[in-house]
Structure 1
Amino acid sequence: MGTVVALHRYPVKSMLGETLMSAAITRTGLSGDRTHAVLDDVGTIGSAKHPRKWGQLLQCRSRLTEGGTVEVELPDGSVFPVGDPELNAQLSKLLGRSLRLSADAPADAPLERAAPEYEGGVPDTVRASSYVDETGEEITVDSIAPGTFFDNGRIHLVTTSSLAVLRAVRPDYDFDPRRFRPNLVIDTGEGQGFLEDTWVGCRVRVGEALCRVVVPTPRCVVPTLGHDELRPDLSLMRTISRTHRLPVFDLGRLACLGVYLDVLAPGLVRAGDPLTQQDGP
């Protein structure tokens, strides 16, 4: 099926993360991934899916130290460990309101998302409940998976073949996989097309871990934003919308790239490990 060519972890939701050579896949996902998030005074989860309100989080980088501490590097290069009151103060200054970084996901915490105009950017039933907030952005409000800072799925995977399709459609666009914030980038070799679509429902082994491919990944506005040295590209998602809309559960046909995986059996995964299909339900 393919080979792992990149592993990524994002200890703080919506911040830049780190590239790894190996990582443990646990029952709850890649070890150390999305263990923390920035919250405001009413418990809203900081997410760059609402870029006017939270987009500056993508100017920060989070990483997990060898000692197991999460650190955050701010845009000015200063680094603070999670738990340092100065980190909350600096994040509040950066975004212009009172914020705190937390490892505890509040029950029913709201997650705000921009409602993009392109077709398939948000389910029609959800768009019907959208409203314009104080930033002037049309948004929808959802919730995260209970007890976590994940939106859906535990592991996010994209393939080189899917990115190649998009590059062929618009060679002038930058479809760098980092824009899509995957945990796993899979090199599918000479395979062509959106191969991961055909894996939905299958069990796959990646390294020592066993997973099930659950659903295509609906895309939000985050890939269009600046990521590190990658510049903003507001047209990128329109290309995906025109090229690749798929039915997702009962939400209609949405602009998708990649797939979400759930973990069936934990194990270590390394760059260079194969991804193989396994028999069984």
Structure 2
Amino acid sequence: MTSARSTRPGVVDRLLRYPVKSMLGEEIPAADVTERGLAHDRRLALVDKETGRVASAKHPRVWHRLLTMTATAGTSAVRITTWAGEELCSTDPGVDDALSEIVGRPVVITDTPPHEATLDRADPEDVLRRDGVGQPVGAHTGRIAVASPQGTFFDFAPVHLMTTSTIARIAELAPHGDAQAERYRPNLVIRTPHAPGFTEDDWLDRTLRIGPDLVLRVIARTPRCAIPTLAHGSLPTDTTALRVLAEHHRVTPMASVGALPCAGVYAQVLRPGRIVLGDAVHWS
């Protein structure tokens, strides 16, 4: 494990948000961050009309088509661009029917999580065996309710961070793969100069200060699921995105949880603030 206890700050290298859960997102130059995460992040989601479950690409056999669409946030609505270049608006009268046809399930797009919402996901070990099986898991119960604000579509916590050193290490371990931050869907990519390896492993339970105001607390290392292996827009399917972590970086996400393939960390917001590209990141 690489030590990250240097006083030398990191820098906000990229900011990304995903206005519709499990769709491709957008890169932005700045963001206001509250206890509910980046403004407009996971603002909407699709809900299966038949099961009442939140649609998530964590269960790729059913929901992989979500990653063929790109969502961008506007002031009052979200614009969705399909793989064919068709543009939909989240407030259009026929948007539910259009999205249902694309994903192959009857869905409704909503900003309100169902009561006791659940989602389906594939077991990462089954994915590695090329035999992914969807299992229902609580999206806002138990530990998750402690970390993630009620009434949101986050699976665990409102902010997800990765470092450039982690992305570079994945690329080094899988030279024939396609290591891109987009596969892992972070909100913040932090450039950590002269910090080799999975440096954010050492941030668990530590405080991050970003820019003049924002304060985060790292609450867990991020266990990875099937999503990084899937095609993301123009990025092709790449099973090494998960396999390299399973083989080279199994760590405990948090206390009382066994070792899992991990990359990046989850954080909750202790003090809201605005961040912009290039902001210094200090940890303590």
Normalising by the residue count of structure 2, what TM-score does the alignment of the two structures yield? 0.88
Residue equivalent to 2:124: 116
Mapped contact 2:126–2:133 kept (Cα < 8 A): no
The answer as to 2:85 corresponding to 1:77 is yes
Listed as ranges, the matches of 1:223-234 within 5 Å are 223-234=228-239
Listed as ranges, the matches of 1:205-244 within 5 Å are 205-207=209-211, 208-244=213-249
Partner residue of 1:148 out of 144, 152, 159: 152
Residue equivalent to 2:53: 44
* Count of aligned residue pairs for this structure pair: 263
Partner residue of 2:100 out of 85, 92, 98: 92
Structure 1's 110 and 118: CA in aligned 2 closer, same or farther, altered over 3 A?
closer
Mapped contact 1:118–1:238 kept (Cα < 8 A): no
Deviations 1:215-242 (A, max 9, x none): 1000001001111221110232111111
Identity %: 38
Residue equivalent to 1:128: none
Residue equivalent to 1:264: 270
Residue equivalent to 1:131: none
The answer as to 2:257 corresponding to 1:251 is yes
Q: Secondary structure at the match of 1:163?
A: helix
Structure 1's 214 and 141: CA in aligned 2 closer, same or farther, altered over 3 A?
same
Q: Secondary structure at the match of 2:72?
A: strand
- Find the aligned partners of 1:149 and 1:209 in 2 and give their Cα distance: 22
The farther-off stretch of 171-180 and 13-22 is 171-180
Deviations 1:24-67 (A, max 9, x none): 011111111001100111311110011110000101111111x2
Mapped contact 2:24–2:233 kept (Cα < 8 A): yes
Partner residue of 2:13 out of 5, 20, 28: 5
Residue equivalent to 1:274: 280
- Find the aligned partners of 1:248 and 1:199 in 2 and give their Cα distance: 11
- Find the aligned partners of 1:68 and 1:212 in 2 and give their Cα distance: 30
The answer as to 2:33 corresponding to 1:25 is yes
Mapped contact 2:126–2:132 kept (Cα < 8 A): no
Residue equivalent to 1:191: 195
Deviations 1:175-226 (A, max 9, x none): 1111100000011111112110111111111123111111100000100111
Q: Secondary structure at the match of 2:94?
A: helix
Aligned residue identity for 1:103 = D
- Find the aligned partners of 1:261 and 1:4 in 2 and give their Cα distance: 15
- Find the aligned partners of 2:85 and 2:68 in 1 and give their Cα distance: 10
Normalising by the residue count of structure 1, what TM-score does the alignment of the two structures yield? 0.89
Residue equivalent to 1:64: 73
Return 5+ residue gaps in structure 2 as ranges: 1-8, 141-149
The farther-off stretch of 13-22 and 71-80 is 71-80
The farther-off stretch of 78-87 and 98-107 is 78-87
- Find the aligned partners of 2:203 and 2:132 in 1 and give their Cα distance: 36
RMSD, matched Cα = 1.8
Return 5+ residue gaps in structure 1 as ranges: 122-135
Mapped contact 1:9–1:19 kept (Cα < 8 A): yes
Residue equivalent to 1:138: 133
- Find the aligned partners of 1:172 and 1:248 in 2 and give their Cα distance: 27
How big is the shift at 1:172? 1.5
How big is the shift at 1:119? 9.7
Partner residue of 1:203 out of 204, 207, 221: 207
Mapped contact 1:120–1:255 kept (Cα < 8 A): no
Partner residue of 1:177 out of 162, 175, 181: 181
- Find the aligned partners of 2:37 and 2:221 in 1 and give their Cα distance: 17
The farther-off stretch of 72-81 and 100-109 is 72-81
How big is the shift at 1:161? 0.8
Structure 1's 104 and 60: CA in aligned 2 closer, same or farther, altered over 3 A?
same
- Find the aligned partners of 2:216 and 2:124 in 1 and give their Cα distance: 32
Aligned residue identity for 2:137 = D
